Amino acid sequence: WRNLMNTLYRLAIGMAGSITFFLLAKPIYVKLSGLRLMPSLCRVGSATLGIYFLQTFLLEILVNRLGVYIPLPWSYAAAPLLAVAELALCYNLVRLIRKSDPASLLILGEKRTDGSSRLSTGMEAISEKRRIQPEQDNRKRPGGSTGESPL
């Protein structure tokens, strides 16, 4: 029973955290969308598959094999610093891998679309769709332009 209760508690906490994240994601995006930081975050976001793939080798295999150990009192300061350093390293490795067509296709699953230096990651289509869509939908509603109900 005790193990079952612990498992259900962890599941509930995980679900609550996930739901909270998804509910807050859009309002946070709307507030941050005007900042100059957003294009950089979007570029990093388009490389997340490669970052996840590379961090597995970097952190889980290389660091563990080297026997790197950080004592608990220092881990609270070291963990964020290590995460940022690892993100920067993995992102730059992804950028380097993208320069090679065969490596980009095999490791990241990305290929060039038209022979240019642009990759087909799907982000271009999303950006183009947002650029084309008008700010508001100005079509007439069934009750007229005021939005009244026809009844």
pLDDT in tens, 34-45: 888 888 888 898
Quote the tokens at residue 115.
């022979």
How far, in Å, CA of 137 to CA of 42, rounded?
26
Q: H or E segment at 94?
A: helix 72-97
Q: Strand, coil or helix: what is 87? A: helix
Q: Is the pLDDT of residue 90 over 90?
A: yes
Is the separation of the CB atoms in 141 and 147 below 8 Å? yes
Residue 63 burial (CB count, 10 A): 14
How far, in Å, CA of 124 to CA of 128, rounded?
6
Mapping DSSP onto H, E and C, the string for 119-134 reads ECCCHHHHHHHHHHCC
How far, in Å, CA of 80 to CA of 97, rounded?
25
Residue 86 burial (CB count, 10 A): 16
Is the separation of the CB atoms in 51 and 90 below 8 Å? yes
N-to-C CA span, the chain? 58
The larger pLDDT score, comparing residue 81 to residue 116, is at 81
Residues 3-33: tens digit of each pLDDT: 898 899 999 999 999 999 999 988 988 888 8
pTM of the model: 0.58
